[in-house]
Chain A
Amino acid sequence: MDWNHFIIYAFAAIVCWIAGAVLAWKSSRRLWPNVLTLLGLGIFFSFIVGMWVSLERPPLRTMGETRLWYSFFLPMVGLVVYNRWRYKWILSFSTLMAVVFICINIFKPEIHNKTLMPALQSAWFAPHVIVYMFAYALLGAAFVMVLYLLLRKSKPITAQEMDMTDNLVRVGLAFMTFGMLFGALWAKEAWGHYWAWDPKETWAAITWMAYLAYLHYRHYAPSKVRPALILLIVCFVFLQMCWWGINYLPSAQGSSVHTYSLN
């Protein structure tokens, strides 16, 4: 298995996910959307496992590899939301987002070689990054929900829809907390300190606190929906900054120990 096989697996997975999303619109029965989405997830995950085996390390080092996990988790989160809240449209959105990230990986693949620098050779590596990617996928789904609610003019936003958004954020934030604290425990073993205000850490703190502000605000003024949703957009911008934006941020150049893909 190598990166050249990606397009085949990705195509097969996308076909399954699109079929599942279309069937979710067409009928109220949830069996086929579930079967097809799970099949797509299985195909996609088998590629991830194949890469893991052939690279002899977890495929989590480069930005391209983290996008791989993100494209995997998005339909998974979409499926959970679909089953939990019965939203027909969520699978279309999660599929669309996954396709965007898959396309980035097809058109701009980053070097995926076997090298794994000693700093990354740790039992903490996989849990730290996978948990973060899962959190990002949940918060990505929450962001999609925000866009849907803000752009929809046909009917007012219901309390149940806000409840779903809050739950996505709450679970996403819980996973983000795991990712951040696993990172702190790992940093102590690798770099000698659990928190060094490295640019990546600073932006992780900004993102984490902004989402905390959102949850507290929701608790404080449940009926004031628009300011909350706008705050959630800001949170998601911070998250993107933390994930990849800082690679282009002048203040973070040359000072981050978190850069592993640009060597």
Chain B
Amino acid sequence: MPHTKMPAGAVSVRKCLAALGGLWVFLGLSAAFAQEVNLYSARHYESDKTLYALFEKETGIKVNVVSANAPELIERIKREGASTNADLFITVDGGVLNTAKNAGILQAIVSPITLENVPAALRERENHWVGLTTRARVIVYSKARVRPDQLSTYEDLASPKWKGKIVARPSSGLYDQSLLASLIALDGEEKALAWVKGVAANFARPPKGNDRAQAKDIVAGLGDVALMNTYYIGQMLHSKDPEEVRAAQEVGIFFPNQKTTGTHRNVSGVALTKHAKNPENAIRFIEFLTSVPAQERFSADNYEFPANPKARKHPLLESWGTFRTQDIDFSALSAHNAKAIRFFAEGGWK
């Protein structure tokens, strides 16, 4: 360093830097509470926030949350290895939950209460994850132009009678990837690929938009049928935008494959990470989330089906009655995901 007189301004710059350093230390310290449970979550619903606050109030255990997209969170837990910050991982797809299990970042949840709360079909075989809620991917149709008796199965959507009548979202969406993965598991690869080709040939327009956009395009008359997750219908019917409510009222909902393989159902669940630092708190939190009051909150606020059969459903969901669901292991969704992505590309479903 050349010899220079330090001008007066430089001192304040140093003070600033010291203050910033102090801020970091503070932020670091403030994250290190005594009683806590750390959550990486890919669910960003208001219902979840309400439940976290409720748990904090009941137990005094602080719930710390980072929410981001599931695959990135899995990669983050992988990279953090033994020093991971996450105790729990929460996400919305059975396939993704199994990907996390296969990545070796989870451990079995040992909790009799939880096993009693959640039926075996909604848990991983060795309890590496347990389901919190389920949602069905159903057919929505124009009440004006389609009669429910014209609808039957997912497979039927590939038949030429729907030519120019189907609107769909891009195949980059996980919901349709998991649906296709389930069809690969149930119908076999050949039929599944043929199904993609058949549906793609029936498109009324190139795939675009999210689930709600499909319902709106049906109401706009661009197409007659589409696939949609059940909770989006609930959310649209209760939207703050009156135009959206109006649109939702004009589509009907149909549970396909009732006489065959059952409607595609997906699960959202919670998993305990292998290197969790607060496993007792984490288990307590899982038990809380699967308890009847928490489960009813999921359904009431977010229109999802509770995993705990003792919990009451939202009246809207109740009005749909019971329905038959696909009888497959959720691990099939991750096992066939890469294939599903390829089939979409090959079959022309962009």
Tell whether A and B belong to one assembly: no
